[in-house]
Homo-oligomer: A and B are copies of this chain.
Amino acid sequence: MPPIVDKSAKRADIIEHAAAVFSKTGYHATKMQDIATAAGIGKGTIYEYFRTKEELFLAVYDAWMTEYENVIRTRTAAAEDALSKVDAIRDSAVEFYTSRAEQAPLLLEFWAHALRTDNPAFLERVRRTRSFLKNLGASLTAELVNSGWFTEVDSISFSELETGISDGIFLSWVLDGRSFPLDKAYTFRQSVIGLGLLSNETRPILADRLAAKLKKGM
């Protein structure tokens, strides 16, 4: 038996394998033994790092969402202006989801589970990422309104809507068997929404380009 690197590395390793097995088999159909086997460890070892199967499930989701948030943080920080930041968020979402296409159904399972379990940590974790996205969206919206790009819009409401829209496109994509390219859908949506929000000053600048995209579709 090789010496253990360190506890948190092993924990991360278990999470990674659990993510793979959960993604493939689904939460309920996955047995702890499956995960142990995949991770090349004993069943009991998992319980040294996670108290229950449910806690491990939460850890998988947490790892995903933490990474997702970090990607967005990094990318938006690198972007110079508000419009670029919006694009950065869109690209982050598209890349995150497409690179995890096989794992996408697990997000649905997680949401469903969060709504059922007695453990409040699940919904809390779900809402944390949603808050992060909504706050980010609201501040960018406000910036776009203030800079004159957008017509006046309640930035909180709009960000709430946008967050829902993103999830909805993802949901459609998953339920429809990923029958359309996710990036095209996000871009198309951006054109529709953008066209609606342009101010009277900026509309002339972009309207034609966006209109062309609308005509073309996904």
Interface check A20, CB cutoff 8 A: no
Separation of A146 and B160 alpha carbons in the complex (Å): 32
- Copy count, this protein chain: 4
Given the known inter-chain contacts A111-B175, A169-B161, A216-B154, please indicate yes or no for A194 contacting B196, CB distance below 8 A: yes
Interface check A86, CB cutoff 8 A: no
Q: Tell me whether chain A's interface is mostly helix, strand or loop, or mixed.
A: helix
List A residues 150-187 near B (Cβ within 8 Å).
Answer: 151-154, 156-158, 160-161, 163-177, 180, 185
Interface check A83, CB cutoff 8 A: no
Residues of B within 8 A of A108 (CB): 108, 111-112, 115
A168 CB to nearest B CB, Å = 2
Interface 9-mer from A3-11, A43-51, A65-73, A123-131: A123-131
A102 CB to nearest B CB, Å = 11
Residues of B within 8 A of A163 (CB): 172
Interface check A214, CB cutoff 8 A: yes
The number of chain A residues with a CB under 8 A from chain B is 56
Residues of B within 8 A of A164 (CB): 165, 168-169, 171-173, 185
Give the residue name and chain of the B residue nearest to A189 (CB).
Answer: B161
Given the known inter-chain contacts A112-B109, A196-B192, please indicate yes or no for A218 contacting B171, CB distance below 8 A: no
Interface check A114, CB cutoff 8 A: yes
A161 CB to nearest B CB, Å = 6
Residues of B within 8 A of A160 (CB): 172, 180, 185, 218
Residues of B within 8 A of A116 (CB): 26, 28-29, 105, 109
Given the known inter-chain contacts A123-B177, A196-B194, please indicate yes or no for A211 contacting B151, CB distance below 8 A: yes
Separation of A160 and B166 alpha carbons in the complex (Å): 13
Are the C-beta atoms of B175 and A127 separated by less than 8 Å? yes
Are the C-beta atoms of B196 and A152 separated by less than 8 Å? no
